């Protein structure tokens, strides 16, 4: 279901989504109140929910929609402003699954190929996971028995020993579902962890500065959007700024952040792979990497460099990932020393860091 006060935007979204054979728009309405009524009449797996609407806006409608249909996937749609970035991240804490940033005008939306690809991929991945869970909940005993007799993918993952060097830095890569996962992991780190933490979360400009502020508020750690020339300090969290890759280089005995405008990798800038490649060169084996929920396979190639340098990689497991793309890519490539539920990652990383 598409919820947006602009009929033109709803029409554009509908055409973009229904170009895919596996996506069907079953309802298109102009505000949150109408969305609640439509939810009573239609079977909906996913809602694309605008933030700014008359009558009932997206933030007001969000908890009502989730209450009306527990497990409903909601993707917030917002323009690229500081206010809407803050609202989008608050919406994630309230139960939204993800967000998309709308181009600034109707004309830009018609030409925004990257946005269209991102929208379709997110709707497909998140809608499919919701549909799979619904099928699993209503599966017949025969099918359930057949499913449980097959080996779980997690049991087929080959783990490797953790690196032997004491970590000097923690690097985290995340995407879809990442803001919620980051908060969970960082809050559960023990007070004994004082290593610097470098985060690349797939996010546009403006959103990353708001994310850094939210992380600082939720965790109590000093956290800021990285700036070119920052000298990496202990007990500090650095978030790669939207629109730039975050790289690390040696400068004498210090490690310094460099921001790069080189082309996107894996359709992303910032991307996890360039961060990890540079960290492997700068820190050698003294690196601990965490790959969290996200679509695609960004982080896999960079994790290979970390392993070649003697570092350690851990990943979020499938059941607790919003999308098991990025963590699944490193896990099934034999790069991880552990693949764990989200709640166990912080304590495990704390032990490795100590």
Q: Token pair of 93, please?
A: 């804490």
Q: At what angle do helices 82-93 and 58-68 cross, to 10 degrees?
A: 20
Residues β-bridged to residue 186: none
- Give the strand order in the sheet containing 46-50: 28-29, 2-3, 46-50, 73-79, 98-102
Cα–Cα nearest to 23, from 35, 15, 32, 31: 15
Tell me the backbone φ, ψ of residue 186, rounded to 5 degrees: -65, -35
Distance CA(326)–CA(272), nearest Å, equals 10
Cis peptide before 270 (omega within 30 of 0): yes
Tell me the backbone φ, ψ of residue 184, rounded to 5 degrees: -65, -45
Cβ neighbours around 70 below 10 Å, total: 7
Cα–Cα nearest to 283, from 236, 245, 330, 232: 232
Catalytic residue of the set 202, 214, 244, 245:
202
Neighbouring C-alpha atoms within 13 Å toward the C-beta of 108: 8
Please say if 298 is a catalytic residue.
yes
Catalytic residue of the set 28, 78, 174, 175:
175
Distance CA(134)–CA(45), nearest Å, equals 9
Please say if 202 is a catalytic residue.
yes
Tell me the backbone φ, ψ of residue 238, rounded to 5 degrees: -120, 125
Catalytic residue of the set 4, 118, 298, 317:
298
Distance CA(307)–CA(236), nearest Å, equals 24
Using CA atoms, how far residue 284 sits from 112, 146, 166, in Å, is 40, 46, 11
**DSSP assignment of 203-225:** --TTHHHHHHHHHHHHH-S-EEE
Tell me the backbone φ, ψ of residue 48, rounded to 5 degrees: -100, 110
| Residues identified as active-site | 175, 202, 298
């Amino acid at each position: 279901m598409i919820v947006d006060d602009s009929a033109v935007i709803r029409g554009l979204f509908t055409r973009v989504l229904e170009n895919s054979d596996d996506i069907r728009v079953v309802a298109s309405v102009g505000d949150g109140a109408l969305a609640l009524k439509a939810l009573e009449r239609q079977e909906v797996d996913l809602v694309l929910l605008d933030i700014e609407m008359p009558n009932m806006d997206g933030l007001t409608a969000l908890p009502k929609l989730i209450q009306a249909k527990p497990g409903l996937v909601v993707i917030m749609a917002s323009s690229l402003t500081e206010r809407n970035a803050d609202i989008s991240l608050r919406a994630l804490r309230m139960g939204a699954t993800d967000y998309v940033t709308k181009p600034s005008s109707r004309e830009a939306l018609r030409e925004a190929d990257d946005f269209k690809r991102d929208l379709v991929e997110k709707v497909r991945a998140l809608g499919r996971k919701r549909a799979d869970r619904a099928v699993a909940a209503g599966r017949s005993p025969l099918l359930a028995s057949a499913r449980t007799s097959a080996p779980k993918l997690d049991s087929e993952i080959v783990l490797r020993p953790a690196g032997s060097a004491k970590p000097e830095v923690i690097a985290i890569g995340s995407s879809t579902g990442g803001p919620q996962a980051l908060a969970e992991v960082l809050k559960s780190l023990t007070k004994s962890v004082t290593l610097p933490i470098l985060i690349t979360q797939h996010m546009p400009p403006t959103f990353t500065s708001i994310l850094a502020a939210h992380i600082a508020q939720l965790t109590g750690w000093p956290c800021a959007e990285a700036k070119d020339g920052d000298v990496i300090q202990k007990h500090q969290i650095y978030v790669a700024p939207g629109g730039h890759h975050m790289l690390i280089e040696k400068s004498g005995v210090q490690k310094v952040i460099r921001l790069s405008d080189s082309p996107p990798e894996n359709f992303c800038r910032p991307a996890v792979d360039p961060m990890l490649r540079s960290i492997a060169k700068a820190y050698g084996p003294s690196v601990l990497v965490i790959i969290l929920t996200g679509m695609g396979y960004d982080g896999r190639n960079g994790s290979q460099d970390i392993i070649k340098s003697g570092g350690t990689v851990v990943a979020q497991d499938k059941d607790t990932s919003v999308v098991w793309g990025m963590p699944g890519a490193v896990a099934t490539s034999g790069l991880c020393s552990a693949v764990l539920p989200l709640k166990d990652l912080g304590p495990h990383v704390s032990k490795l860091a100590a």
